[in-house]
Amino acid sequence: MPMELILNTYGISLNRDNEAFVVTKKGERHRVPADDVKSIQISRGVQITSDAVMLAVEHEIDVLFVDKGGTPIGRIWSPRYGSISTIRKGQLNFTASHAALEWMKEVIMQKMENQQALMLLLQPRDTSLEYELKRNIDRIEGYRMKVSNLEGDVVSDVAPSLRGWEGQASRIYFSTVVKSLQEEYQFEQRTQHPAMDVANAFLNYGYGMLYGKIEGALIKAGIDPYIGVLHRDDYNRPVMVYDVIELYRIWVDYVVFTLLAQNGITEECYSIREDGSFWLEPLGRRILIQSLNDYLDETISKGGVVRSRLTHMNLYIQNLAQKLKRFEK
């Protein structure tokens, strides 16, 4: 199975040797045939030659550049990818349709259902909180029903309500699931750019990995990642990624909370800056990347089809592309 080549250690270089990549680290060279690589992820401090970039393009290998928090900041892909005109026209028409509102409602309701399921799975460490757990699951169900019963012609008519209910449900969800963790890993609220605690540092990096995979899948399916439905107001941002990722954030949550609950994280996995922000160190990134990729490669049955989680996600996005195509006229 082709691998994801992840280069996130300062001083590593990536070169080309005929039809193979050569990874050089501290004088040691490792040769990786291009046919064995499905994607390349590059962090700050890594060097890549133009020959290596051309090899990636020739073999339709996605090259993703990420910042120190794991968030994608740029990518190179084959010209064989890119928005297909019929899909892009349909996508533009779709965003202003009633069908887009129904799709976005389905996405948010599924996100809330995923949150409820993980809340049940990650029981509070204090058994006296079981009543609070049930009450919070019911509260999220209340917001899910509000979304289900919401009426409107297009997304823009009801966007503030959708965002508000989604945000409220997420705050209830995180305030509940953190209680499954040891006290040192519990947090009061989600913090991003930067994270202000260990758990959020891992969540942010994991979400960044997922962003990259979803954006790549959208591009390969012919969907323009910059034309969104609910997240439409962020100029020059991959807003369609922000819409689709809501279905899959739960995968990152499960992996991160499981790692923290199993005491798999040590102080060597992260560092704390002078401003109090938390950042993953190479060991922490390596543990999370391996754990999340292993989880995504696990096979599950969905709709009677047995595939890896990542393949199920890619199939969903391919089906979404076909749905958008029908709105061309």
Task: From 61, 169, 55, select the one nearest 116 (Cα to Cα).
Answer: 169
**How confident is the model over 137-182, as pLDDT tens digits?**
999 999 999 999 999 999 999 999 999 999 999 999 999 999 988 8
- Cα separation, 185 vs 194, whole angstroms: 16
What pLDDT is recorded for position 160?
A: 93
What pLDDT is recorded for position 263?
A: 80
- From first to last of the 329 residues of the chain, give the pLDDT tens digit: 788 899 988 889 999 999 999 999 888 999 999 999 999 999 989 999 999 999 999 998 989 999 888 888 888 877 776 567 888 899 999 999 999 999 999 999 999 999 999 999 987 777 778 889 999 999 999 999 999 999 999 999 999 999 999 999 999 999 999 998 888 999 999 998 899 999 999 999 999 999 999 999 999 899 999 899 998 766 668 899 999 999 999 999 999 999 998 887 999 999 999 999 999 999 999 999 999 999 999 999 988 889 999 999 999 999 999 999 899 77
What pLDDT is recorded for position 264?
A: 79
Q: Tell me the residue ranges of DSSP E strands in 34-158.
A: 37-42, 47-48, 62-66, 72-76
The torsion angles phi and psi of 123, rounded to 5 degrees, stand at -65, 145
What pLDDT is recorded for position 236?
A: 67
* Residue 161 tokens, joined: 């309500």
pTM of the full structure: 0.89
Asked if residue 150 lies in contact with residue 161, where contact means CB atoms within 8 angstroms, the answer is yes
Give the domains, in start order, of the chain with CATH numbers: 3-66 (3.100.10.20), 85-325 (1.20.120.920)
Task: From 73, 113, 320, 311, select the one nearest 218 (Cα to Cα).
Answer: 320
What pLDDT is recorded for position 122?
A: 85
Task: From 312, 290, 311, select the one nearest 303 (Cα to Cα).
Answer: 312
* Residue 252 tokens, joined: 């990152």
Collapsing DSSP states into helix, strand and coil, what is residue 5? Answer: strand
What pLDDT is recorded for position 235?
A: 60
Asked if residue 124 lies in contact with residue 118, where contact means CB atoms within 8 angstroms, the answer is no
Task: From 163, 171, 170, select the one nearest 147 (Cα to Cα).
Answer: 163
What pLDDT is recorded for position 68?
A: 84
* Residue 2 tokens, joined: 């082709």
